[in-house]
Amino acid sequence: LGERSFYEKYFQIPSVTYKPQKLNENIDLAIWDFKACLKEYVSFYIRSEKLYEIFFGNQVVKKLIEAAPALKELSVLGKATSGPRNIGPKVIYDHIIIDSYSMGHHKALLKGPKAISKVIHRGPMGHHSEKINEIIVDPKWTSHFIVMKPEELPTQEGLELFWDLKKDLGIQSQIIMNMYLEPPISIDEIEKI
């Protein structure tokens, strides 16, 4: 998620775009930002990219979209959950793995649909928000992994995210320590050395 990716260097490819690129037989890679997700969703329903450009190209509308509460979160999570909800363009993947934002932004991302569904009870936005939230908290559809370095600040933030998601959304995350190596000798042997 985001506007830039470090996966170009990792996979040694020229760039990562919104349109999925095949890395191998079983893996495609794409980068999703909220504007592209929103454009795809709206264009699918109005069936005209030209109408989208006319309306959403307007500077006033652009400012309203930037300021709209949780619209960014709903557009990205709407795309991620569109398959199970049978909404929007057809999803051709069995699994979608999302490398999300930093921990604070990720927490806001996941809390957005629930907050909107509590405030807006009727209409498409309220309905979609509720359904998006149902998918992201249901372990049948979604698994959450918090990946953190075994350093003080990242570990503290990761554990805070773990407990916030559990308390606020009922999400049971799994924790993965990145860049952690088990020492090849025991602590006793280290102390003797």
User: CB burial class (10 A; 0-12, 13-18, 19+) of residue 136?
Assistant: buried
Question: How high is the pLDDT of residue 61?
Answer: 66
- In sequence order, what are the residues at sequence separation of 6 or more whose Cβ sits closer than 8 angstroms to the Cβ of residue 26? none
Q: What CA–CA distance (Å, rounded) separates 16 from 2?
A: 11
Question: How high is the pLDDT of residue 187?
Answer: 81
Q: Whats the size of the chain, residue-wise? A: 193
Query: Which neighbouring-strand residues pair with 15?
Result: none
How distant, in Å, are the alpha carbons of 11, 35, 132, 155, 181 from that of 150?
25, 34, 32, 6, 10
Angle between helices 103-119 and 71-80 (to 10 degrees): 100
Q: Give the count of beta carbons closer than 10 Å to the beta carbon of residue 107.
A: 19
Residue 146: φ, ψ to 5°? -100, 115
Residue 147, amino acid: V
Question: How high is the pLDDT of residue 37?
Answer: 83
Q: What CA–CA distance (Å, rounded) separates 133 from 129?
A: 6
Q: Which two tokens stand for residue 167?
A: 């308390």
Per-residue tens of pLDDT for the chain, all 193 residues:
988 888 888 888 899 999 999 998 899 999 998 888 877 877 776 666 776 676 667 676 667 666 666 777 888 899 999 999 988 878 889 999 999 988 888 888 899 899 888 888 788 888 888 999 999 999 999 999 999 998 999 999 999 999 999 999 999 999 999 888 777 888 888 888 8
